[in-house]
Amino acid sequence: MTQTARCATLAVDTRCALGEGATWCARSGRFYWTDIEGARLWRYDPGSGEHTAWTMPERLATFALCADPHHLLLGLATHLAFFDLATGHMHRIATIEPGLNTRLNDGKCDRQGRFVFGTKDEVAEPQAIGGFYRVNHDLSIERLPLPAPAISNSIAFSPDGATMYYCDSPTRTIHACDYGADGHIGASRLFVRLLDPDGVPDGSTVDAEGGLWNAQWGGARVVRYDARGVETERVSVPVRQPSCVAFGGAQLDTLYVTTARVELDAATLAGEPDAGGVFVATSARRGLPEPVFQGVWP
């Protein structure tokens, strides 16, 4: 049974064009996210209220915390790179899908500390020409045997790491597959089909009980599904384009939600002036520490 919806409130008014990549760093007690279209990496310290931004050389689609706390693994529009938070230095790793009109999109580390990410077609009517990939500890990159997406999203892993979740947003479905510690990918199965006429699945996270929390673009909501794919909770977001979600705070019981302003006309933005900000809601559930990339910094 779905619990009564709670409402998220504005925490950081950055008005990002396309906020994404919600990530809590438990080591530093700070929240990171990206403005993809603004080509900026953001960091927020809820203790001091301070927020910091780094300008990227191209759109930053996704990223991961690293075992070395001074670095991030970046998934920029066209390539992967390591980023030094102190100096701003970047070390390019590899170009992704050269020759295709795609860019990187969603990504998360698995429980073994490998980075899994997907791509999206960069046209008005995207086609399923992208892919899902994994960056291994030795920085080798392999394409995963999953259906090609038009817009990859919702990448997340169960608490034991044995299930991977993912979606192709335009299909309005979220899928799951068995995921081995050795990297083996099992057959895909339908996990959730969105039935509400508004909203498509975007970024996701998993709580300590194994529930999947999904930000639903166009639906002004974050929805929790249990491990069977049954909706159990929803959080209302006072703007219509929530994009990604993460648990944060000292007890990992604060839900952070990124949002976006792209594709909204002037009249809509007048009614949603906080669109593009970061919102928070207190949860009765607790999240899990974000896995860090265990690959070797060159």
pLDDT tens-digit readout, 67-101? 999 999 999 999 999 999 999 999 999 999 999 99
The DSSP call for residue 77 is: S
Count of C-beta atoms within a 10 Å radius of residue 47: 9
What is the distance, to the nearest Å, from the Cα of residue 154 to the centroid of all Cα atoms in its chain?
A: 7
Annotated binding-site residues read: 20, 103, 105, 153, 202
Q: What distance in Å separates the CA atoms of residue 76 and residue 162, rounded to the nearest whole number?
A: 28
Q: Mean pLDDT for the chain? A: 96
Which residue shows structure tokens 């794919």? 229
pLDDT tens-digit readout, 125-147? 999 999 999 999 999 999 999 99
Residue 3 above 80 pLDDT? Answer: no
Annotated binding-site residues for a divalent metal cation read: 20, 153, 202
Residue 162 above 70 pLDDT? Answer: yes
Kindly report the pTM of this predicted structure.
Answer: 0.97
Give me the domains of the chain, ranges plus CATH numbers. Answer: 6-282 (2.120.10.30)
- Annotated catalytic residues are 202
pLDDT band with cut points at 50, 70 and 90 for residue 296 = confident
Annotated binding-site residues for substrate read: 103, 105
Mean pLDDT of 52-66: 98
Q: What distance in Å separates the CA atoms of residue 266 and residue 149, rounded to the nearest whole number?
A: 31
